[in-house]
Amino acid sequence: MKFGGHETFPIREGWLSRSLSKINKEPEFVTDKYPEDVLGVGRNMYKSIRHWLIATELVEGKALRKGFPKTLKPTALGSLVFLKDPYFLRHETWWLLHINLVNNSDHAATWSWFFNRWHVQRFEKGQCLNNLNEYMRMNTSRVPKKNTLDRDLGCMLASYASKSEVHIEDPEDTGDCPLQDLQLLRFHQATGRYEILRHEKKITPEIFGYAAVKSKLKESQESRERANYEDSLVEWSNNPGGPGRCFQMQPEQLSHCVNQWDSKDIKVQSLAKERKILVAGHTPLQWAEAVYSANVKVAIDA
């Protein structure tokens, strides 16, 4: 499990698109003594950008001493996103990256814990931090310092939490992490409390399928393609890294989404009074390719 790496910076608008484009065109720049100068950012921001590229599974690299990758190269997903949505304007792109973070406990441990293990809908940060610290104490051999967990949790919350009231006169209030547009979390400034938004999300069948298969592959450690995956509505809602966890949706909401789709790859079946969802066993990359070939395209609001 890795904590930090982001230097407390959430993803900022344009970071991933500019850096992924540069890596595609001039991958050798990451071996420069000052690669941050190539991107026009500070040293800590460069470290954060590099972390986010790896954590979202857009690039991969070989680590040298002190954790610095010798080279960075696009993954198959990174190449697909660069081809189909080079400016990261599509809502679906950010859902894909979010799903990867939720399923990536190696590079985004707090993200994975929060969406998979934390169930309190309205909470204060301190309450959440204490629970995270206790979970790590019970489940890991090396527990990070509480200050480290505090910074990691703070970055995660800032990444997703839109504010109930925005004071335009505040020059520091940029609110520019694109993950906020997924509408998964809200911060109520009047009370200092956070709220998980568990309404029905605007997702496509392909995004649902990507989350479903990512969670199943992580669960079984399989890499091969299967005919299909079958689980009950409750299981799809509760499976770590699956649709219910990634989208913060309840079984009835998942059912309503699936019933609206005319998809041959995702279907609802009723067996002995239990509703099951069948998901075609395409690979995650195949589901991602289907995301960009689908007719429905949702752009992030300007």
Alpha-carbon distance of 257 to 302, in angstroms, equals 25
160 Cβ contact list (under 8 Å, min separation 6)? 177, 179, 180, 182, 184, 185
The boundaries of the domain holding residue 39 are 15-87
| pLDDT tens per residue across all 302 residues of the chain | 778 889 999 999 999 999 999 999 998 888 888 999 999 999 999 999 999 999 999 999 865 455 555 689 999 999 999 999 999 999 999 999 999 999 999 999 999 999 999 999 999 999 999 999 999 999 988 889 999 999 999 999 999 999 876 554 444 444 589 999 999 999 999 999 999 999 999 999 999 999 999 999 987 765 556 679 999 999 999 999 999 999 999 999 999 999 999 999 999 888 777 889 999 999 999 999 999 998 655 444 43
Residue 104 in domain: no
Q: What is the pLDDT of residue 227?
A: 77
* Distances, alpha carbon 233 to alpha carbons 161, 192, 254, 258, in Å: 27, 34, 7, 10
Residue 161 in domain: yes
Number of H helices, E strands in the chain: 13, 9
Q: What is the CATH number of the domain that holds 76?
A: 1.10.10
Q: What is the pLDDT of residue 5?
A: 87
Residue 101 in domain: no
Q: What is the pLDDT of residue 67?
A: 56
Q: What is the pLDDT of residue 172?
A: 42
Residue 250 in domain: yes
Closest CA relative to residue 55, chosen from 113, 6, 117 = 6
Q: What is the pLDDT of residue 295?
A: 60
Boundary residue ending a domain (196, 218, 243): 196
Same domain, 22 and 52: yes
Same domain, 213 and 254: yes
Output phi, psi for 140, to 5 deg: -130, 150
Residue 4 in domain: no
Q: What is the pLDDT of residue 241?
A: 97
Residue 173 in domain: yes
Same domain, 116 and 192: yes
Residue 244 in domain: yes
Q: What does R_g of the chain's alpha carbons equal in angstroms?
A: 19
Boundary residue ending a domain (31, 52, 87): 87
Same domain, 185 and 216: no
Q: Enter the pTM of the model.
A: 0.91
Alpha-carbon distance of 13 to 175, in angstroms, equals 10
**Would you call 90 helix, strand, or coil by DSSP?**
strand
Same domain, 216 and 187: no
Same domain, 65 and 119: no
Q: What is the pLDDT of residue 35?
A: 92
Total count of residues recorded for the chain: 302
Q: What is the pLDDT of residue 182?
A: 98
Alpha-carbon distance of 95 to 207, in angstroms, equals 7
Boundary residue ending a domain (30, 56, 87): 87
Count of domains for the chain: 3
Q: What is the pLDDT of residue 27?
A: 86
Residue 9 in domain: no
Q: What is the pLDDT of residue 43?
A: 94
Same domain, 148 and 176: yes
